[in-house]
Chains A and B, each alone.
Chain A
Amino acid sequence: MDPDDNVLAVYRGRKLVRLYGCDVYKMKPNRLGSNGRTIQSQINCDIDNPDLTPQELQDYQSITCQYCILRDGDLLYFPAFWWHQVTTPEITISVNFFFGDAGSNIYTQKLLNSAQRNTFLYWMCNIIEQNAPFSSFSRMLVYLRRSIKFFLFKQWHDVLSDEQALDIYDEIIKYFGFENRVRALEEEYRDKKSPKNPPNIRIRGLLMREKVEDSGD
């Protein structure tokens, strides 16, 4: 799944698309992320008996799979954070655009108020976690509200309101149970001058993790 609304157009050939909704937890997300902004599932949907625990199987069976065949000239819109699988039975030319709602923060607001909310927050928390092994992480936690704003500006050119940034911030802190750590850090940083630019939240996909030990960052 990707963090953007998506439109896929087929110019020549065929595409078979399967969508599995936007509940991140029901499709066994690979917590390592991937080499980019996407989240990958660990379920092989092509086999009849995927290797799953009874609970995982129950979750998977509770999902509705929506399908289509796209022929040349057709276009498919599907929302951000929807699980999708695409196959091509012919030599196929296609184009996709990632996009969001016009306006300064309408897109972020839409995600925060929709069924995609939990998945959006999962994605944010996963990216935060990718930054956790680095020594700069404490500083990031202190200025996290500003870092979140800066990050989503870079991602989507959305300018978040203070309320939106706080909403995301609260969920991240709660998710990791960072309340005490942040309190202690804020005490430690109390007399320090606030930086001009907040610490940079970086997407460090699966492959980048291996560089954790090499990089002083």
Chain B
Amino acid sequence: MNKVVIEDEYNGKKKTHLFKHLGNLEPIGEIHASEYSHEDFLRNHLSGNKPLVIREALSIFDTGTSYKHWSVEYLTQKCGHNKVHVRRNTNANEYKTGQAYFAEEVEFRSYVNDLLANNQKSQNSYMAVQNLRKAFPQIFEELKPAPFVEKLHGGPFLWISRAGNYLNKYFGDLSLVQDPLLKRSLRILSHGS
């Protein structure tokens, strides 16, 4: 098992974060935003199938006033009454294995209040992907995309997550699912061919 520990400090609190993997473990390449070259990015990353971390990009690129203004308090003040979709029971096995999906529409400020209170409800909830243009029109204009975002496919999406949240929407945490539906679709396929 390969392990890497990163020490971090946020809001005056020190924390260590552990990365571990059974195979090779290496940091994603990174640059400071002041070193950014558009040509280099297009050639080596966008066309080169290679990720890149750009440090302090939001203060150095022209990203509108969003980075300066946005905090949980600011968003709540501007958009507190907006309706958002919140996934519930995200700790349930059915959710984690992708077999069930519980969502509820609530006011944004109610989601935030639960989050700040770090109550039982918040630990089992996650604000589902919110398209900023639709769900938060009051602040949409404050945001500009990074210079290399030329053809938008989706979003921008806003995520506000609690401490310790695990984004299983994206990845992992799925146990093996025995699913008769899959067998059925395979059966139909083999009949047809």
List residues of chain A with CB under 8 Å of any chain B CB.
1-2, 4-5, 7, 9-14, 16-19, 22, 30-32, 34-35, 38, 40-46, 48, 51, 57, 60-79, 82-103, 107, 110, 114-116, 129-130, 132-133, 137-138, 155-157, 176-178, 180-181, 206-207, 209-210, 212
Contacts and interface: CB of A to CB of B under 8 A. Distances in A.
A114 B49 contact: yes
Contacts of B176: 42, 51
15 contacts: A1-B171, A14-B8, A38-B169, A73-B56, A74-B53, A74-B55, A77-B45, A79-B49, A79-B51, A87-B166, A90-B10, A91-B115, A91-B116, A132-B192, A212-B184
B48 to A, nearest CB: 9
Interface of B: 1, 4, 6, 8, 10-11, 15, 17, 19-28, 30, 33, 41, 45-47, 49-59, 61, 63, 66-67, 70-72, 75, 98-101, 115-116, 132, 143, 145-146, 148-167, 169-177, 179, 181-182, 184-185, 188-189, 192-193
Nearest to B24: A64
B99 A206 contact: yes
Contacts of B55: 71, 73-74
B37 to A, nearest CB: 14
A149 B168 CA distance: 31
B101 A73 contact: no
A60 B11 CA distance: 36
Contacts, number: 286
B52 A115 contact: no
Contacts of A18: 19, 21
Contacts of B154: 4, 97-98
A61 B23 contact: yes
B173 A46 contact: yes
Contacts of A66: 26-28, 51
A152 B15 CA distance: 44
A102 B150 contact: yes
A214 to B, nearest CB: 13
A207 to B, nearest CB: 6
Contacts of B160: 91-93
A69 B8 contact: yes
Nearest to A131: B185
Contact of A73 (B20, B27, B57, B155): B57
A54 B58 CA distance: 44
A65 B70 contact: no
Contacts of A206: 98-99
Contacts of A87: 164-167
A84 B170 contact: yes
A30 to B, nearest CB: 6
B159 A93 contact: yes
B98 A157 contact: no
Pairs of residues from A and B, 4 with the lowest C-beta to C-beta distance, nearest first: A98-B154, A102-B150, A65-B21, A75-B57
Contacts of A10: 58
A63 B151 CA distance: 30
B72 A93 contact: yes
